[in-house]
Amino acid sequence: MSCTVAVIQTNSRDNIAANKAQIERLVQQAAQDGAELVLLPEMCLTMDGAQYAQLAADRTVPEWFAALAARYGIWILAGAVPQPCPDDDPRVRSALLVFNSQGDLVSRYDKVHLFDVDVADSQGSYRESERFAPGEDLVVVDTPAGRIGLSICFDLRFPEQFQALRQQGAELLVVPAAFTHTTGEAHWEILLRARAIETQCFVLAANQCGWHDEKRRTWGHSMIIDPWGRVLGSCADEIGFASAIPDLQSLRDIRAQMPLKRS
């Protein structure tokens, strides 16, 4: 059974209400274009770190995504939103929330690899661990598009995570992100295509784009890639979405013709 999927590219700033309006407009457009499942970028509600703790404490946040999914009858993978830690850690988790077309929350993945790096851009230093606690568990979820392995942004640089998701039966891999302009220009597409080729999975990658404040700029170029490494649909560096229909039979053919998983 074929299923149209879409990756949505946003430019999220500090105004949560404006960001919600942007998300809903793009979800509506993707649904009208035939998408049955959409992937949103990392921190799609805001890129303003000062608001993350407030968002995590707000129980209406998951409810808003649930209502959006039910309103348009579409699966929504809410790229990453701040959520409470399940333990006593005062930090929050960066969580990918999966809602089905009835608005039920069916799965959650907490980002494992935190972005604590120095980058030669206007911001210079990124320390996610100051606000976020890392997750521990890998997650695969069944959807109308196939079996999807979940990840978030910086996870992309750790191929062992994606191999583990393939071992758990993933046919599609999702990468919601806020990849910086500097690192994205250098590595974004290369890494995405490598993950697709080495796991023989479809890859859906939804990135933030543009300037978010006077220092933070992201790369955009959201895309959908097939198991052979071919780009099936992509955005440039502006707000929008791209869609494609993952052909799971072609995936099975590629895996049979070039078997990489051996006992």
Residues labelled as active-site residues: 42, 111, 153
Amino acid present at 56: A
Phi, psi of 151 (to 5 degrees): -155, 170
What is the gyration radius of the CA atoms in the chain, in angstroms?
Answer: 17
Q: Where are the beta strands (DSSP E) in the chain?
A: 5-9, 37-39, 75-84, 92-99, 105-110, 116-118, 125-127, 140-143, 146-150, 172-177, 202-207, 209-211, 217-219, 223-225, 231-234, 240-244
Distance, CA of 40 to CA of 23 (rounded, Å) = 8
Cβ(109)–Cβ(142) below 8 Å: no
